[in-house]
Amino acid sequence: MKITQLSLFAENKPGHIIAPCRLLAGAGVDIRALSLADTQRFGILRIIVSEWQKAAKLLEDAGFRVKVTEVVAIEVADRPGGLVQVLAALEGSAINIEYMYAFPFGREEKAVLVFRFDEPDEAIQRLQSAGINLVARAALQKA
* Chain contacts with other proteins (rule: CB under 8 A): 5, 7, 9-11, 16, 37, 39, 41-42, 44, 46, 61, 63-65, 67, 69, 98-99, 116
Q: Which amino acid is located at 21 in the chain? A: C
CB of 19 to other proteins, least distance (A): 10
Closer residue to other proteins (CB): 67 or 107 = 67
The pairing of strands 31-38 and 110-117 is unpaired
Helices (H) and strands (E) in the chain, counts: 5, 6
Q: Please state, in angstroms and rounded to a whole number, the distance separating the CA atoms of residues 73 and 114.
A: 4
Q: Please state, in angstroms and rounded to a whole number, the distance separating the CA atoms of residues 47 and 49.
A: 6
CB of 63 to other proteins, least distance (A): 5
Closer residue to other proteins (CB): 33 or 132 = 33
CB of 108 to other proteins, least distance (A): 31
